[in-house]
Structure 1
């Protein structure tokens, strides 16, 4: 993720830890709560009690809101990249939808400014007294849209979408919401694409969990149309970023979809995306880096999950085996790993002979080109644009 230190700019993104206290959580939504949901409590009482990590966005002239709701004083917009305490209650919930840290990973929400710990070594922006500003915000947006100068990596086909993301999404703090039914990841889920997610995709920047999840939703549509639901299963990257008991339980639940099916599991390890394939109790690792390394904690967690699944289902093979497909194509630069992982999944889905193991078993120098990656980028942008 980028880290800007110029507080005069309209948007400053700073890596941060999110903490919580036992203060009462203000409710900014009047949406009805789901009767099946059970309210959970977590005793946390100081800023040192970290519950999540992500990015904090310090805004200048932008109208401050989160998902269309005005941001209250003393609150900042944050994007959560991961959870430390998944069951901790968020301080600004949407009842029945977003109540715990686990539910908001990959999304945008409001957080008390005094409960944000900046990790970038910069000081927080000094508060400026509010003044009455009579500037026509719609006029400002109109001027901004007309002055847009897109990146050279931007498709002209999506110029209007680009202007919308660079102005409306940015100014309002809204997100593009993509609903997924339970067939995609095993549970119903809504993917929240924020301004920064959409701009990264449009400008061929680094993509994260939300974009890759959206691509898996696109791939699911293709699997349905090809009548191949009995062959492939998607594992939610938002549910597997933390290696704990929940991780293993979720993997076991997904494996029960069918022992002979091939399971896609994108995984982010220290800001680098890899693809895990689980197939017939074997675990294959596809790494876009030219000099791939081992992931001992991840590998052990996957082996335990496969072993538990085999024990619960009475399968003969009790232990999963990890194999690295060193011949999988590599990324051409330093930021394309997310696009490569999406390309891996598409290639495997389109491989009628299912011979990825033999084709990618031997190390080679094959690299995906920017043009090949653009094919997948164009496809997902078309899908996302439908939800604007």
Structure 2
């Protein structure tokens, strides 16, 4: 971490090195309001390291970032337009039966509001991608940082370890788009890619929210 490294990331890493040493963890529960379920998760030192430096991104980081996004969606009165799915409910590791995944998602979609988008981060072993489903119109978008994005335009390839951060960025862009025109935007901008500054902004969003909520 050089002199130009974001100060919010330095703070969360210095805190984590003390608070999460020797296998200690921070436990938290899913927001039932945001996810429709309540379930306990834990975050480890390696999770914070993955955000601040590099490493494999686990679901706990994604869930905390969703919690951050949900508070924005609620504040801007967009909960009728955007909903979230717990990645642990449909991930390849936590739920390796495709029938169980389908059943869980079907139950989640039962109370979907007209035009509401469900953001579904999915981890296929070591690869994160994002699926956006609009149940009432039966429209599905799949956004994969390492393969193809919507409308078959190619994403610029990045390292596997960036996948989780990219998915966090996709979700943020969707939530911050009050008109939900993300599909048209990404089809139109065929050279769209995240810069290092963009990725650092995503990391800082996580770090500031995490420190405010969990460092007490």
Same fold by TM (over 0.5)? yes
Structure 1 length-normalised TM:
0.49
Change (3 A) 1:350 1:161: closer
Change (3 A) 1:352 1:327: farther
Deviation at 1:334, TM superposition (A): 4.1
Asked if 1:253 corresponds to 2:110, the answer is: no
Gapped regions of structure 1 (runs ≥ 5): 1-149, 293-322
Deviates more, 1:211-220 or 1:359-368: 359-368
User: What pairs with 1:203-214 in structure 2 (closer than 5 Å)?
Assistant: 203-214=53-64
Change (3 A) 1:341 1:331: farther
CA distance in 2, matches of 1:178, 1:201: 18
User: Over aligned residue pairs, what C-alpha RMSD do you find?
Assistant: 2.4
CA distance in 1, matches of 2:178, 2:199: 21
Change (3 A) 1:174 1:207: same
Q: Conserved in 1, the CA contact under 8 Å of 2:9 and 2:204? A: no
2:8 alignment counterpart: 157
Residue aligned with 2:193, SS: coil
CA distance in 2, matches of 1:216, 1:353: 19
Residue aligned with 1:288, SS: coil
Per-residue Cα deviation, 1:116-174 (whole angstroms, up to 9, x for no partner): xxxxxxxxxxxxxxxxxxxxxxxxxxxxxxxxxx4789533343432232244122x22
User: What pairs with 1:178-193 in structure 2 (closer than 5 Å)?
Assistant: 178-193=28-43
Q: Conserved in 2, the CA contact under 8 Å of 1:155 and 1:202? A: no
| Structure number, greater radius of gyration | 1
2:197 alignment counterpart: 371
- Structure number with higher helix proportion: 2
- Structure number with higher strand proportion: 1
CA distance in 2, matches of 1:151, 1:211: 24
- Count of residue pairs the alignment pairs up: 207
Per-residue Cα deviation, 1:260-318 (whole angstroms, up to 9, x for no partner): 210000111241111001012122111112x43xxxxxxxxxxxxxxxxxxxxxxxxxx
Change (3 A) 1:353 1:249: same
